[in-house]
Amino acid sequence: QGDIKPLEGERDQNFRVTASDGKRFVLKISSAGEEPEVVDFQIRALEYLRSNAPEINVPQVQRTGNGELTGALTSAAGVKHMVRMLSYVEGVPLSTIAAPSLTVARNAGIFQAGVAQSLANFEHPAEDHYLVWNMSNGLIEDPALWKFGKQDIRAFEGRLRPHFAGHVIPALRELRSQVIHSDGHQDNLLVAEGQPDEIAGLIDFGDMVRAPLVCDAAIMALGFAGDAQDPVKLSAAAIAGFNEVYPLTRVECDLLYDGMVMREALSVYC
């Protein structure tokens, strides 16, 4: 029993559940189209992190009364959905900080790199599932995708799409890859309450996929390039933090900017 509050979610229906003893959890109801193998992939990754990197603050899977990792429910329309409960990671989204400091940017890179490094040896049968956000999957090469944008965005197609298709994607596919979180933007990176320079945790493992490691760094760094007064300094600090924990190669560093631009392009169209 407890109070329930809806939370945002791209594909899942998410609810924050506050139990009578004050403990908080996240109830996730998967969309009917979500493949069970992909849900299992996400759950097993969290279990892997709990066992191999317990110091990293990410959601923890809560087992059912029968000891299972997931449950099931049937909607009024007769559609079945997978259900799981996670611990609630305390903190506030980094996106709520009006002027992020160089310190929190560096700490975000350090935290994201710690997660990536801890997942380096994690494997799962569903790790190669198709994900629109996976920058190496070639979706950005498709001319049909660019037709969805407004005219001012489509104006960049002539420069960007050939560059992505002819240079960036082939180069990415030659780089080391592993399972990555793939969604380290500032709504998913949490800072400690009252301590805006301290990263408190990382949430939302719904976009995990096997992809080039550099993509994880690029996605995280992109979050610091938005409305910042000095986006280059902030992004560089975030990348420096990542590199401090999980060193990137020269070739990977050369592709960081392209990766950031490509992710932003996908965000516009997808």
> Which residues span the domain enclosing 177?
92-269
> The domain that contains 138 carries what CATH number?
3.90.1200.10
Domain end point (choices 36, 56, 87): 87
pLDDT over 70 for what percent of the chain? 99
Predicted confidence (pLDDT) per residue in 82-135, tens digit: 999 999 999 999 999 988 999 999 999 999 999 999 999 999 999 999 999 999
Say whether pTM exceeds 0.85. Answer: yes
Q: How confident is the model at residue 153 (pLDDT cuts 50, 70, 90)?
A: confident
> The domain that contains 10 carries what CATH number?
3.30.200.20
The structural domain count of the chain equals 2
Pairing of strands 24-29, 13-19: antiparallel
DSSP state letter for 166 = I
pLDDT over 90 for what percent of the chain? 74
Beta bridge partners of 35: none
Domain end point (choices 46, 61, 87): 87
Q: Are residues 81 and 59 in the same domain?
A: yes
Q: Are residues 69 and 110 in the same domain?
A: no
Q: Are residues 180 and 223 in the same domain?
A: yes
